[in-house]
């Protein structure tokens, strides 16, 4: 394994995904310090080499100044916003190493129009679509007698996961178009709209780390986006995940690489925007045939909380290789285990919820085998741990089987308490 020299690492973000990254990076022997900006209560409690830095993820100039002043040799971006704002370009101009795509390459996530046109140009399987820039042409398209429902209506820009409407009939489609174009509920992110075919099948996500040409794959994962058991109720940021997802068989994965990942990386190189960093491919799999629902320019949350603990090789060595263009040479081995994560949310989430609730964690949790408690919306101040967001924890467990990892995760969930805490009780059940 390549040796990693002692270094300082900066992780940008405040969710359970960034806590998991922080945990993984801190395990790397060569790492001296891990800064998390802004981090959360969990990263504050890690101690040792880890410390929070009170800088927001979109304060690009301040983050760069911090990286320079504190001899940060490797920066990892958790969420999409700094990528869309061009943090990778900014750091690269200052000769600071950073994992992520350039602003131009991050359009795979930040512009759905860009990503659909890209996939069409390069023959990558995805739902058929049309692009609209005003309400009246979108409304006429929706109203054509030959239109089959459901239709999927998407604001093109970043909408924090809220920009997609599955319209079951013409009325719902017209309402979505009106809200985006006339009420401007997403502001400029709704200046362009993609209307696409509804894909049948089951969803899964595949994550690659890439240096632009070579890539390494994490275990395929499945998220649970709805708030309620049995995939009911409102969409959320994600209420739980597990990996590996049996839906993504070896044969499906082969197709994903051949028809999606390799053409995506080649297409981006050919178009003059080589794609580097994490590539999240959201898939719909219908009778063994994968197509792309969306790309994201980052890792998933909560999927990171299951795929990263399954990585056996040194995460930092792989991250460095992805910057140095030597990813083809590093080990990227996985444990032959399963992982599940259960998200504990504040009562009321994803709508209005209260924060500032005192959190209790039973002492025996820290001794539970193969359990990892990742914090999301928590704050740690004056020796008190309180809730500070919608998704509060992501409780991960590993097991020899998926069943074992799920049971372990739920046993750990019971050790955590705060007023109004809620979680799904069926994470991973559909794979059993
Ligand atoms: P996106 O932000 O594009 O991932 O869309 C959010 C969610 O909407 C996806 O995870 C799917 O559950 C659903 N979705 C998006 N596009 C489609 C589609 N073309 N067909 C069916 N479901 C879709
Ligand atoms: N788990 C969905 C996402 O990270 O976008």
pLDDT of residue 161: 79
pLDDT of residue 367: 80
Which are the contacts of 308, defined by CB distance < 8 A and separation ≥ 6? 20, 21, 23, 24, 218, 299, 315
Residue whose CA lies nearest to ligand 2 atom number 5: 300
Ligand 2 atom index nearest CA of 161 = 5
> Cα separation of 432 and 423, whole Å?
19
Report whether residue 293 contacts ligand 1, using a CB cutoff of 6 Å.
Answer: yes
Ligand 2 atom index nearest CA of 298 = 4
Q: Domains in the chain, ordered, with CATH? A: 7-103 (3.40.50.20), 134-191 (3.30.1490.20), 202-329 (3.30.470.20), 338-417 (3.90.600.10)
For the segment 189-222, what is each residue's pLDDT rounded down to a tens digit? 999 999 999 999 999 999 999 999 999 999 999 9
Q: Are 244 and 255 in contact (CB under 8 A)?
A: no
Question: Which residue in the block uniquely carries the two structure tokens 């995506």?
Answer: 264
Element (H, E) at 372: strand 371-375
How many CB atoms sit inside 10 A of residue 63's CB? 27
Residue whose CA lies nearest to ligand 1 atom number 5: 164
Which of 301, 305, 390 most suits a substitution to test ligand 2, by most atoms within 8 Å of the C-beta? Answer: 301
Report whether residue 64 contacts ligand 1, using a CB cutoff of 6 Å.
Answer: no
Q: Are 261 and 281 in contact (CB under 8 A)?
A: yes
Q: Which of 370, 429, 426, 362 is nearest to 398 (CA)?
A: 370
Between the CA of residue 334 and those of 32, 112, 206, 222, 307, what are the distances in Å? 24, 32, 14, 17, 9
Q: To the nearest whole percent, how much of the chain has pLDDT over 70?
A: 99
Q: Are 152 and 196 in contact (CB under 8 A)?
A: yes
In the predicted structure, residue 1 carries a pLDDT above the cut 80: no
Please tell me whether the overall predicted TM-score, pTM, comes out greater than 0.85 for this model: yes
Which of 42-51, 261-270, 365-374 comes out lowest in average pLDDT?
365-374
The dihedral over CA atoms of 343, 347, 351, 354, expressed in degrees to the nearest 10, equals -110
Ligand 1 atom index nearest CA of 161 = 2
Report whether residue 196 contacts ligand 1, using a CB cutoff of 6 Å.
Answer: yes
Which of 156, 161, 166 most suits a substitution to test ligand 1, by most atoms within 8 Å of the C-beta? Answer: 166
For the segment 232-260, what is each residue's pLDDT rounded down to a tens digit? 999 899 999 999 999 999 999 999 999 99
């Amino acid at each position: 394994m390549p040796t990693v020299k002692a270094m300082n690492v900066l992780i940008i973000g405040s969710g359970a995904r960034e806590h998991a990254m922080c945990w993984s990076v801190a395990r790397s022997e060569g790492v001296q310090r891990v800064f998390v900006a802004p981090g959360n209560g969990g990263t504050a409690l890690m101690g040792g080499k880890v410390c929070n830095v009170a800088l927001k993820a979109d304060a690009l100039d301040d983050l760069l100044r911090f990286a320079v002043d504190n001899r940060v040799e490797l920066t990892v971006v958790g969420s999409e916003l700094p990528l869309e704002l061009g943090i990778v370009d900014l750091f690269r101009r200052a000769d600071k190493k950073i994992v992520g795509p350039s602003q131009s390459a991050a359009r795979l996530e930040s512009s759905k129009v860009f990503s659909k046109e890209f996939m069409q140009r390069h023959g990558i399987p995805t739902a058929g679509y049309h692009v609209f820039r005003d309400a009246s042409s979108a409304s006429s398209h929706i109203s054509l007698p030959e239109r089959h429902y459901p239709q999927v209506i998407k604001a093109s820009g970043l909408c924090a996961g809220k920009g997609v409407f599955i319209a079951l009939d013409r009325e719902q489609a017209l309402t979505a178009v009106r809200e985006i174009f006339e009420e401007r509920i997403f502001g400029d992110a709704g200046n362009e709209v993609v209307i696409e075919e509804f894909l049948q099948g089951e969803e899964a996500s595949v994550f690659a780390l890439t240096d632009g040409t070579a890539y390494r794959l994490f275990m395929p994962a499945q998220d649970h986006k709805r708030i309620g058991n049995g995939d009911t109720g409102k969409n959320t940021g994600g209420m739980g995940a597990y990996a590996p997802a049996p839906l993504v068989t070896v044969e499906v994965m082969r197709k994903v690489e051949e028809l999606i990942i390799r053409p995506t990386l080649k297409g981006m190189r050919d178009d003059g925007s080589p794609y580097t960093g994490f590539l999240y491919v959201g898939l719909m799999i219908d009778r063994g045939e994968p197509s792309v629902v969306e790309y994201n320019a980052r890792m998933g949350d909560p999927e990171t909380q299951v795929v990263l603990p399954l990585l056996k090789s040194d995460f930092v060595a792989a991250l460095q290789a992805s910057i140095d263009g030597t990813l083809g040479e590093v080990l990227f081995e996985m444990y032959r285990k399963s992982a599940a994560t259960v998200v504990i949310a504040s009562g009321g989430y994803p709508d209005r919820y209260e924060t500032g609730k005192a959190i209790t964690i039973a002492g025996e949790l820290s001794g539970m085998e193969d359990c990892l408690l990742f914090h999301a919306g928590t704050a740690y101040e004056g020796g008190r741990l309180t809730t500070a967001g919608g998704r509060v924890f992501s409780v991960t467990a590993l097991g020899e089987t998926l069943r074992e990892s799920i049971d372990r995760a739920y046993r750990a969930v019971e050790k955590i308490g705060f007023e109004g805490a809620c979680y799904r009780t069926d994470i991973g059940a559909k794979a059993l």
